[in-house]
Amino acid sequence: MEKETQEKDLKNNKTNSGYYGNRLRIGASRGSSWIRQQFGKGMTYFLVIAASIVFYFALLRATNLTDVFWKIIDVLKPILYGLVIAYLLNPIVKKVDHYFIPFLEKKLKNKQKAAKLSRATGIFFAIIVFFVIIIALFSMLIPELYKSVRDMVITLPGQLNDFVADLNELYSNDSAAGNLVKAGISEGAQMFQTWLRTDLLPRANDLMSSLTVGVLNILRELFNALIGVIVSVYILFSKEKFVRQTKKTVYAVLSFHNANVLLHLTRKSNEIFGGFIIGKIIDSAIIGVLCFIGISLLDMPYVMLVSVIVGVTNVIPFFGPYIGAIPSALLILLSDPVKGIYFIIFIFLLQQLDGNFIGPKILGNSTGLSAFWVIFSILLGGGLFGFLGMLMGVPTFAVIYYIVQMIINSRLEKKHLPGHSDYYDEMSYVDDEGNYVHSEENISQKENKGE
């Protein structure tokens, strides 16, 4: 008996020695006593109450928290610019790596050195392309835009006077419509003169101060963008390392299933945003060039100004063509009504060309949204975040739509039901036992019953 007890103690000592000798896992399960359970419940209650109090005071300080948030965003603007620039230049860098790495690997024995040399070449080429495009745009656009705006400022008052004179001449009779139009014109002119005397002139100093502040803000944003270009170089050099670190962190924090879902959604979001944004930029540039060529051949005024307006607003899906066409048409109508009508016809044909041929070829179905959801996302994004919301609302809503679709399809799959919407037509149904009955089966059952 004593021998058996000694052997048992020796076995326990070996077991304990092995347990403490090996590296322990953090979060290893241990038996919980009644005191530990009660303490855990108490800590849970305390944390819930503390979180509620913190949340309440956070709501009271919401304005201050918002100011702090925007202050942090303002400080990190160079990083944000760098991320955006790196995202836009990444396709060029990937293309260079795709073609240049195999060539360098044949010339160099060290594959790591070949990859680094290819990456440096790709980033250098991408930065050169980036600056060439910006310098070319500014050198072509700025002088023409200045000329168009100067001509508009010089000629617009005279055009308005001629327009008012034509209206007065048109309704010079004493009819009720003529008197109404003349009264409206007179009232409008008086209100405009009053606004000039009482509002515009006294606020001239404020306007000049705002203009000075605006110029300083533009210079500061340009400086941030320049630093962002430098930041983008470092991001592009180390993008694989950042991806690996992020992936490692996701697997460490989340469960395996949730981590895989998150990584899948990240890849899908990159696919949607990349395809939409880059495709829209190319599409809008083509439309701007075609508009410039078209209205130049038609000998219309404000050629560069109108082309820039049409090209920039075309970035906004669905509503963009109308947002750009309406002010451009008004400018040309004031200059020459006949040319204004020609411009409206030309823009209509150009947008039909873009909507039916150019846009689908470049963008394809990158978002997977129907026309209704595109309009919904633009209105919602524009109402909440302005121009940026109108631009980014479509890809953002496309990602949300995809997530909701994944959740619904997953739940349907668990219930052994089809996931595609085409299966749920008017005649199809699911019985009380959870069996799906297709419309064709439903019709055949009715035919067999003689109904």
Its domain, for residue 83, covers: 64-170+215-237
- Decide if 163 is inside a domain: yes
DSSP tag of 416: T
- Decide if 430 is inside a domain: no
- Decide if 75 is inside a domain: yes
pLDDT at 18 over 60: no
pLDDT mean across residues, the chain: 76
- Greatest mean pLDDT range, 44-53, 55-64, 227-236, 315-324: 227-236
Q: Are 313 and 354 contacting, i.e. CB atoms less than 8 angstroms apart? A: no
pLDDT at 211 over 50: yes
- In the structure, what pLDDT confidence band is assigned to residue 156 with cuts at 50, 70 and 90? low
- Decide if 357 is inside a domain: no
Number of domains in the chain: 1
In which residue are the tokens 């003529």 written?
A: 178
pLDDT on residue 235: 92
In which residue are the tokens 């835009």 written?
A: 145
Q: Within 13 Å and on the Cβ side, how many CA atoms surround 436? A: 14
- Decide if 336 is inside a domain: no
101-147: pLDDT as tens digits: 888 888 887 888 888 888 899 999 999 988 888 887 777 667 766 77
pLDDT on residue 230: 92
List own/partner pairs for 62-65 with CB under 8 A and 24 or more apart: none
262-294: pLDDT as tens digits: 898 888 888 888 888 888 888 888 888 888 898
- Better-scored residue on pLDDT, 54 or 342: 342
Q: Which helix (H) or strand (E) holds 165?
A: helix 111-170
pLDDT on residue 144: 66
Mean pLDDT computed over 238-254: 91
Query: What contacts 148, CB < 8 A, 6 or more positions away?
Result: 301, 302, 303, 304, 305, 306
Tell me the C-alpha to C-alpha distance, in Å, between residue 439 and each of 415, 450, 451.
19, 16, 15
Q: Which of 114-118, 224-228, 434-438 has the lowest mean pLDDT?
A: 434-438
- Decide if 222 is inside a domain: yes
CA distance 227 to 47: 43
Mean pLDDT computed over 6-19: 50
- Decide if 320 is inside a domain: no
Q: How many beta carbons lie within 10 A of that of residue 156, not counting itself?
A: 13
387-415: pLDDT as tens digits: 778 878 888 888 898 888 888 888 888 88
Cα-based angle 433, 437, 442 (whole degrees, multiple of 5): 130
Q: Which of 12-26, 71-85, 184-198, 253-267 has the lowest mean pLDDT?
A: 12-26
The one-letter amino acid code at 366 reads S
pLDDT on residue 390: 81
* Pairing outcome for strands 436-437 and 429-430: antiparallel
The one-letter amino acid code at 13 reads N
* Angular region, 84: left φ>0, alpha ψ -120 to 50, beta rest: alpha
Mean pLDDT computed over 252-263: 88
CA distance 13 to 8: 9
- In the structure, what pLDDT confidence band is assigned to residue 11 with cuts at 50, 70 and 90? low
pLDDT on residue 101: 85
The one-letter amino acid code at 405 reads Q
In which residue are the tokens 């005397």 written?
A: 197
Token output for 398: 């496309």
CA distance 404 to 412: 12
Tell me the C-alpha to C-alpha distance, in Å, between residue 297 and each of 34, 147, 171, 413.
88, 18, 36, 59
pLDDT at 381 over 80: yes
- In the structure, what pLDDT confidence band is assigned to residue 61 with cuts at 50, 70 and 90? low
- Decide if 71 is inside a domain: yes
